[in-house]
């Protein structure tokens, strides 16, 4: 049975990898829908995600594409897994503190399926006590994390903070569902 992945894309330079991630997940036979923050749309247009996913892309909490449902609740219910990639310090902080001020965060707070975050940010931001605290809170709340890799960052620094490669994230998602199938 085809699984539903809801990809929440927040705004950092790693958004370009999220387009490739949608492609890889779709090739692995997942049904993918995308929600984008306003900042994410500064880096990549919704059309890129629509083409790769073959689904509508969501970004406005008040733009209801189907008047029979409330989009952010319907998307949260639809998903078998929600993946936030890239997960910026901003979206991590909002979710850790229960702030729901856009389509991504309202959907995340309505989710009952597993929520995974793949952080991507400057090495110093990732190491900041507030970000560490927010990640620890989300882990305590039941969220899972796909650790960023180390390497050359867009800011010119070298260190931990690169969004994990789309192929690796896809492999982790595939292995998760294979493990779930063995349990059930």
Q: What is the pLDDT of residue 156?
A: 74
Given a contact cutoff of 8 angstroms between Cβ atoms, the answer to whether 81 and 173 are in contact is yes
Domains of the chain: 4-183 (3.40.50.1950)
Question: Known catalytic residues?
Answer: 155
70: pLDDT confidence band, cut at 50, 70 and 90? confident
> What whole-number distance in Å separates Cα of residue 117 and Cα of residue 175?
16
pLDDT band at 153 (very low <50, low <70, confident <90, very high): low
For residues 101-115, give the mean pLDDT. Answer: 97
The model's pLDDT over 18-36, given as tens digits with 9 standing for 90+, comes to: 999 999 999 999 999 999 9
52 and 22 Cβ atoms separated by less than 8 Å: yes
CA distance 118 to 165: 10
* Phi then psi dihedrals of residue 146, to 5 deg: -105, 105
Closest listed residue to residue 27, CA positions, set 182, 155, 128, 169: 169
Residue 150 has a pLDDT of 80
């Amino acid at each position: 049975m085809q699984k539903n992945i809801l990809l929440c894309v927040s705004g950092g330079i790693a958004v370009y990898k999220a387009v490739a991630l949608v492609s890889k997940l779709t090739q692995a036979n997942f049904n993918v829908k995308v929600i984008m923050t306003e900042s994410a749309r500064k880096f990549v247009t919704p059309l890129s995600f629509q083409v790769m996913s073959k689904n509508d892309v969501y970004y406005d909490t008040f733009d209801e594409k189907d008047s029979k449902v409330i989009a952010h609740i319907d998307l949260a219910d639809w998903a078998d897994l929600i993946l936030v990639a890239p997960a910026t310090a901003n979206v991590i902080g909002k979710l850790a503190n229960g702030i729901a001020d856009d389509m991504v965060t309202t959907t995340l707070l309505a989710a009952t399926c597993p929520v995974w975050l793949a952080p991507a940010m400057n090495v110093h931001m990732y190491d900041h006590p507030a970000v560490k605290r927010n990640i620890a809170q989300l882990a305590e709340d039941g969220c899972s994390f796909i650790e960023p890799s180390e390497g050359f960052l867009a800011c010119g620094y070298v260190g931990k903070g690169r969004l994990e490669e789309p192929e690796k994230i896809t492999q982790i998602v595939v292995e998760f569902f294979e493990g779930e199938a063995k349990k059930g």
